[in-house]
Amino acid sequence: MGSSWQTKMAAPLVKTVRGWSDLALGVRSTVLRLPGLIQVRWSRYGPEYRDPQVDKEYYRKPLAELTEEQKFERELRKTQLIKAAPAMKTSSVFEDPLISKFTNMMMKGGNKVLARSLMTKTLEAVKRKQFEKYHAASSEEQATIERNPYTIFHQALKNCEPVIGLVPILKGGHFYQVPVPLSDRRRRFLAMKWMITECREKKHRRMLMPEKLSRELLEAFHNQGPVIKRKHDMHKMAEANRALAHYRWW
């Protein structure tokens, strides 16, 4: 009952034509609003709206440095409608898209304040631990110790990314785990997801999230720890199921 209501709800909304308002070059946008298909997920922006470009340096570049394509793109953007910048995005230099994504994934129940404070405490904890190690180490080792928490975070998550994944495919009434190449986005997502799940479940009851997460990040940075082990398990399973690789049709 619910689903039919939703599709009926969608139909009159689709008919509110946003107008033949200035479409840019290209035919693709007309295909999105075919009258035969009823869209169930819709957004308040029309299909002609483009994502905003928040980076300051993009605009400050002098015209002489741009290629023909970039100049054309610049001119084209002047005719396009742009969406509003979301509340999390600023032009600040301190903003990192990966950190923002990770914070959102850590967030529970819409409590962004808490998630963000946990994230900053984690980075602080990582930095403190690294500085302690730095001061305790000899001068040759000091050169090898990385103290920037952002590089540690990025490198740790990159180390956790699996190369190949498993997908359950239904064939002959049974589900087989078939090895499948993963896209970049999926890999990043899996790395972050495993990290968060690991930190939530496998910790001592009284230990706080920043403490546990900083520990896991440092271990992953050195290619050790439970998240890396999970990645290797995934690779081994994929290797074991190699024979099923031909079940993939895409």
Partner 1 sequence: MAAPCVSCCALLSYRLFFRGKVNLAPRQVLWKAAAAELPTVSGSQISRLRHTTVLTTKKNVAALRRETYTVDFIKKQIDEFNIGKRHLANMMGEDPETFTQEDIDRAIAYLFPSGLFEKRARPIMKHPEQIFPKQKAIQWGEDGRPFHFLFYTGKQSYYSLMHDAYGKLLNLEKHKNELQAKGLFSEEAKTKDLIGSRWLIKEELEEMLVEKLSDQDYEQFIRLLERLLTLQCGAAEEEFLQSFRRSVTIQSKKQLIEPVRYDKQGMAFSTSEGKRKSAKAEAVVYEHGSGRIKVNGIDYLLYFPVTQDREQLMFPFHFLDRLGKHDVTCTVSGGGRSAQAGAIRLAVARALCSFVTEEEVEWMRQAGLLTADPRIRERKKPGQEGARRKFTWKKR
Residues that bind partner 1 (CB under 8 A): 1-2, 5-6, 9, 20, 22-25, 27, 30-31, 34, 43-45, 52-54, 56, 59, 72, 75-85, 87-88, 90-92, 112-113, 116
Q: Which residue has the tokens 């107008």?
A: 19
CB of 119 to partner 1, least distance (A): 11
Instruction: State the nearest-atom distance from the C-beta of 75 to partner 1, in Å.
Output: 4
Task: Tell me the CA distances in angstroms from 173 to 169, 176, 177, 179, 219, one per residue in order.
Answer: 10, 10, 13, 19, 41
The size of the chain, in residues, is 250
* Closer CB to partner 1, 19 or 168, in the complex: 19
**Which CB, 90 or 148, lies closer to partner 1?**
90
In whole angstroms, how close is the CB of 152 to partner 1 at the nearest point? Answer: 22
Q: How far is the CB of 239 from partner 1 (least distance, A)?
A: 38
3-class secondary structure per residue, 212-250: HHHHHHHHHHCCCCHHHHHHHHHHHHHHHCHHHHHHCCC
Q: Mapping DSSP to helix (H, G, I), strand (E, B) and coil, where does residue 195 land? A: helix
100 vs 241, beta carbon nearer partner 1 = 100
Q: Which is nearer to partner 1, 73 or 233 (CB)?
A: 73
Q: Tell me the closest approach of the beta carbon of residue 168 to partner 1, in angstroms.
A: 22
The residues near 35 (Cβ < 8 Å, ≥ 6 apart) are 14
Residue 75 half-sphere exposure toward CB, CA atoms < 13 A: 8
Q: Name which of 72 and 134 has its Cβ closer to partner 1.
A: 72
